[in-house]
Structure 1
Amino acid sequence: MDRKFLWGSATAAYQCEGGWKEGGKGMSNWDTFCHSEKNNINPVTGDVACDHYHRYEEDIKMIADGNQNAYRFSIAWTRIIPDGVGKISREGIDFYNRLIDTCKKYNVEPLVTLYHYDLPQSLFENGGWENRATVDAYEEYVKVCFKEFGDKVNYWATINEPNYETLCCYGFGNYPPNVKNLERRWKAMYHLMLASARAVKAYKNMGYKGMIGLVSDSYPIEILKDNEEYRKAKKLANIFFNTSVNDTCIKGYYPDEYIEHLTELGYDLSYMKEEDKEIFKAGTVDYLGVNAYCRFLVKPCTGRETVMEVNNTGDSSKNEEMEIKDWCALDDDPNTKKTPWGTEIYPKSVYDMLMEFKELYPDTPIIITENGLGEYDIVEGEKIHDQYRINFLQGYVDWIKKAIVEGCDCRGYFVWSTMDVYSWINGYKKRYGLVYIDFDDNCKRIPKDSYHWYKEFIKEKGGSYNGKI
Structure 2
Amino acid sequence: MASIQFPKDFVWGTATASYQIEGAYNEDGRGMSIWDTFSRTPGKVVNGDTGDIACDSYHRYEEDIALLKNLGVKAYRFSIAWPRIYPDGDGELNQKGLDYYAKVIDGLLAAGIEPCVTLYHWDLPQALQDKGGWDNRDTIRAFVRYAETAFKAFGGKVKQWITFNETWCVSFLSNYIGAHAPGNTDLQLAVNVAHNCMVAHGEAVKAFRALGISGEIGTTHNLYWFEPYTTKPEDVAAAHRNRAYNNEWFMDPTFKGQYPQFMVDWFKGKGVEVPIQPGDMETIAQPIDFIGVNFYSGGFGRYKEGEGLFDCEEVQVGFDKTFMDWNVYAEGLYKVLSWVHEEYGDVPIYITENGACYEDELTQEGRVHDAKRADYFKKHFIQCHRLIESGVPLKGYFAWSLLDNFEWAEGYVKRFGIVYTDYKTLKRYPKDSYRFIQSVIENDGFEA
TM tier relative to shorter chain:
over 0.9
Partner of 2:3: none
Q: How far apart in 2 are the matches of 1:223 and 1:169?
A: 27
The aligned counterpart of 2:53 is 48
For 1:395, the equivalent position in structure 2 comes to 379
C-alpha contact (below 8 Å) 2:253/2:281 kept by paired residues? no
Whether the 8 Å CA contact 2:71–2:434 is kept in 1: the answer is yes
Matched with 1:407 is: 391
Q: Which residue of 2 aligns with 1:347?
A: 330
Q: Would you say the 8 A contact 1:298–1:328 is kept in 2?
A: no
Q: What is residue 4 of structure 1 aligned with on the other side?
A: 9
* Counterpart for residue 13 of structure 1: 18
Look up the match of 1:275: 279
On the 8 A contact 1:215/1:288 being kept in 2, the answer is yes
Within the alignment, does 1:114 sit opposite 2:145 as a pair? Answer: no
Cα drift, residue 295 of structure 1: 1.0
Residue 40 of structure 1 and its aligned partner are, at CA, apart by 5.0
Q: Aligned partners of 2:261 and 2:49: how far apart in 1?
A: 42
Alpha carbons 2:29, 2:94 under 8 Å: kept = yes
What secondary structure sits across from 1:290 in the alignment? strand
Q: Distance in 2 between matches of 1:409 and 1:40?
A: 39
Equivalent positions of 1:315-326 (< 5 A) are 323-324=308-309
Distance 2:387 2:95 in 1: 44
Q: Tell me the residue number matched to 1:97.
A: 102
The alpha carbon displacement at 1:255 in A equals: 2.9
Q: TM-score, normalising length from structure 2?
A: 0.94
Cα distance, 1:176 vs structure 2: 2.3
Aligned identity (percent) is 36
Question: Residue 313 of structure 1 aligns with which residue?
Answer: none
Separation (CA, whole Å) in 2 of partners of 1:462 and 1:71: 19
Q: Deviations over 1:407-464 (max 9, x none)?
A: 10001101100011100011112101111010012x001111111111011111269x
Alignment-mate amino acid for residue 83 of structure 1: D
Which AA in structure 2 matches 1:457? V
Structure 2: which 5+ runs fail to align? 1-7
* Post-superposition offset of 1:250: 2.1
- Given the superposition, is the C-alpha separation of residues 10 and 176 from structure 1 closer, same or farther in structure 2, using an over 3 Å criterion? same
Match of 1:287 in 2: 290
Name the structure 2 match of 1:318.
none
Instruction: Give 1:307's aligned residue.
Output: none
How far the C-alpha of 1:38 sits from its partner, in A, is: 4.5
Q: 1:99 to 1:330 in 2, by over 3 A?
A: farther
Partners of 1:275 and 1:445 lie apart in 2 by 48
Report the secondary structure of 2:347's partner residue: coil
Name the CA distance, whole Å, in 2 between partners of 1:40 and 1:276.
Answer: 35
The count of corresponding residues between Structure 1 and Structure 2 is 439
State the match for 2:315 in structure 1. Answer: 332
Whether 1:416 and 2:421 are equivalent positions in the alignment is no
How many angstroms apart in 2 are the aligned matches of 1:209 and 1:253? 29
Q: Give the aligned partner of residue 85 of structure 1.
A: 90
Q: d(CA) in 1 for partners of 2:141 and 2:53?
A: 31
In 1, Cα distance between equivalents of 2:57 and 2:119: 17
Over the aligned positions, Cα root-mean-square deviation in angstroms equals: 1.7
Partner of 1:432: 416
What letter is aligned with 1:275? G
Residue aligning to 1:34: 39
Q: CA offsets per residue over residues 310-360 of structure 1, 9 Å max, x none?
A: xxxxxxxxxxxxx21xx2424122411112321001111111111111211
State the Cα deviation string for residues 115-166 of structure 1 (Å, max 9, x = none): 0011000111111111111111111110101011111111110001011232
1:75 pairs with 2:55 = no
Q: Name the CA distance, whole Å, in 1 between partners of 2:284 and 2:334.
A: 29
Superposed displacement of residue 74, structure 1: 0.3
* Structure 1 stretch displaced more, 361-370 or 7-16: 361-370
Q: 1:150-299, aligned counterparts within 5 Å?
A: 150-269=155-274, 271-281=275-285, 283-299=286-302
| Matching residue's letter, 2:297 | C
Q: 2:303 aligns with which of 283, 300, 303?
A: 300
Which secondary structure does the structure 2 equivalent of 1:8 belong to? strand
1:457 and 2:437 correspond: no
Aligned residue in 2 for 1:366: 349
Task: Determine which of 132, 139, 143 is the counterpart of 2:144.
Answer: 139
Partner deviation per Cα, 1:243-294 (whole Å, 9 max, x = no partner)? 111111123333333333333433243x31023233224x232111011101
Normalised to the residue count of structure 1, the TM-score between the two structures is 0.90
Q: What residue identity is the alignment partner of 2:282? A: E
Contact 1:77 1:114 in 2 (8 A): yes
Aligned residues of 2:45 and 2:410 also touching (Cα < 8 A): no
Distance in structure 2 (CA, Å) of the matches to 1:17 and 1:445: 14
Once residues 406 and 391 of structure 2 are traced to their aligned partners in structure 1, the CA distance between those partners, rounded to angstroms, is 36
Q: 8 Å contact 2:134–2:197 — kept in the other structure?
A: yes
Query: Which whole-Å CA distance do the structure 1 matches of 2:18 and 2:228 have between them?
Result: 36
Amino acid paired to 2:305: T
Structure 2 residue identity aligned to 1:127: G
For residues 16 and 446 of structure 1, the distance between their equivalents in structure 2, rounded to whole angstroms, comes to: 15
Q: Tell me, what secondary structure is at the counterpart of 1:297? A: strand
Matched, 1:383 2:363: no
Give 3-state SS (helix, strand or coil) of 2:120's partner: coil
Offset of 1:24 from its aligned partner?
Answer: 1.0
Q: Is the 8 A contact 1:358 1:407 kept in 2?
A: no
Look up the equivalent residue of 1:432 and give its one-letter code: F
C-alpha distance in structure 2 between counterparts of 1:166 and 1:42, whole Å:
25
